Structure 1
């Protein structure tokens, strides 16, 4: 098996696993042009996957589909409107997926928001926690039956090194209704939740579904749309004042997507289900203790069930 590293790209990793990608049905969330999701979908289509392009805005989904078709005219693409900040939208999207013929082989939960001003969703949940964790939690759990139709299903959850900035605030995930809101603690909470969800999902479906959480790396994408000059100054170790990433933190979008492809298709890591990856490698030693606590993972599952109003056994 080749060695992948910080310089690998989604396309270079995908080429190695082309035989495993061909014919698979993959859902990618968050596929706006010029982002990780769009590039992931492009490479999947290039190597013959059937790709479900899931996103909040139909026009952006269609723009990405058009870009993919330019490179791969015969690409097998499907559009799925999915607004992760609305539990009703998530349920509608999941219901649509459950009507598909054939299995879902892989879900990549790439969509997310970062460093947004305080706001609550229509369901009363702080936006970053809702979009980065709760919406995906509901969506993936609802489509488990389609995943279990696959011979070797996988779920790849987009987390971040930002999980280091904060644990899940089980008793106050909404920051006293915004009174004590810190957007970076909130982002950290949401990305910690992603890792904990991956741990518990892997545990519940051990031997049936392989699950990984991933930090793709820092690139200039639409994710940073809410960031301010003050934010870039706060994170001067990672960003230049103009918002461009620094040093090893700086990746091309293609380098960012490489770890998705390792997590999604590398057969040598299936026994490490529940793990966290970055730079194309298992990197559990880089995860904060608050994001590896198995009791916290169980507690998060219970909180998430409460927030979506549904039990998943």
Structure 2
């Protein structure tokens, strides 16, 4: 039987239903799973068949709301809650230690959570908050879990790490001079966001390369999605015309997809066997789309440089 061709209208549950055997028995960890997010529709797609579904977020109470919604739809789902605040390296280390202590293996990580697009702000490590939460913390979390990921490998299975990037990566480039020393005078909300999303693409490439393909890592654009966004986020999107002055999506100039359609690309990146061995690739509309990657984000020299810079920011090496 021929497999379907996915497109912009494909939903996350349709992708999951196409490849149930790729999910059964697997431990899947997804960051940022609050109820009105694309992360929630991502975990919805895995809940029916996953051996263990790990849902993460900053708030234990919101995680309980997500768990309750999933259990209502999938009473038999095996769900575990994990508090993870990407704004705090201490929280990242604590969460990783919890996962490493689980008796179950770890097969798939989907880095879905992201900081809001907003004004210049430093985090507790004196780094740009978007760059730190969207790149440095996911990099650290993956590093701390790499041994557990690799332990799940079999002759027919390579663990996958998925980074939810954005087509907005093409709006900028990485300013290497300001990564360790952020400069408010050079900051723009969309520029900072684009920089962090470029980092997602480059990390997927370099993670696959440095692991020798033993970890297959992918990045993706989920599509333009209307969610319950923070006022700061909405204001930024208004300033560049993606939202109208009255705070509504600008459907005249932009195409939007539903959360279910947007999450399809995350699920495809995590389980579609047709992309096995193509780690480092970028997906959009649930299919390979390397032709949509900017020249800067496609450059392997930039991927190598970012890896080294990130290790320097953390003060520790990510080795295999």
TM-score (norm 1): 0.95
Q: Give the SS at the match of 1:179.
A: helix
Per-residue deviation, residues 60-105 of structure 1 (Å, max 9, x unmatched): 1111111101101121011111111111111111111111113111
Aligned partners of 2:293 and 2:214: how far apart in 1? 25
**What SS does the corresponding residue of 1:164 show, helix, strand or coil?**
helix
After superposition, residues 116-155 of structure 1 pair within 5 angstroms as 116-151=118-153, 152-155=158-161
Equivalent in the alignment of 2:225: 219
Kept after mapping to 2: 8 A contact 1:27/1:53: yes
- 3-state SS in 2 of match to 1:11: helix
* Equivalent of 1:256 in 251, 258, 262: 262
1:159 correspondence with 2:165: yes
Distance 1:205 1:223 in 2: 36
Residue equivalent to 2:53: 51
- Give the drift of 1:176: 4.5
> Given the alignment, which residue of 84, 87, 90 partners 1:85?
87
The aligned length equals 311
Corresponding residue for residue 171 of structure 1: 177
Q: 1:224 to 1:212 in 2, by over 3 A?
A: farther
Per the TM alignment, residue 180 of structure 1 is displaced from its structure 2 partner at its CA by 2.5
CA distance in 2, matches of 1:19, 1:126: 41
Tell me, in whole angstroms, the C-alpha distance in 2 between the residues paired with 1:222 and 1:121.
Answer: 24
Structure 1 match to 2:105: 103
110-119 or 182-191: bigger deviation: 110-119
Give the C-alpha shift of residue 117 in structure 1: 1.7
Answering whether residue 35 of structure 2 is matched by residue 30 of structure 1, we say no
Residue 280 of structure 1: how far off its partner (Å)? 1.0
SS at match of 1:68: helix
Cα distance change on mapping 1:87 and 1:230 into 2, 3 Å: closer
Residue 249 (structure 2) aligned to one of 244, 249, 255? 244
* Inter-partner Cα distance in structure 1 for 2:125 and 2:277: 37
Alpha-carbon separation, structure 2, partners of 1:171 and 1:287:
23
The runs of 5 or more residues in structure 2 that have no matched partner are none
What's the RMSD between the two structures over aligned residues? 1.6
User: Residue 310 of structure 1: CA displacement?
Assistant: 1.0
2: CA distance, partners of 1:194 / 1:176: 19
Shift of 1:229: 4.5
Q: Distance in 1 between matches of 2:56 and 2:91?
A: 12
Give the conservation status (yes or no) of the 8 Å contact 1:27–1:106.
Answer: yes
SS in 2 for 1:92: helix
CA distance in 2, matches of 1:139, 1:262: 22
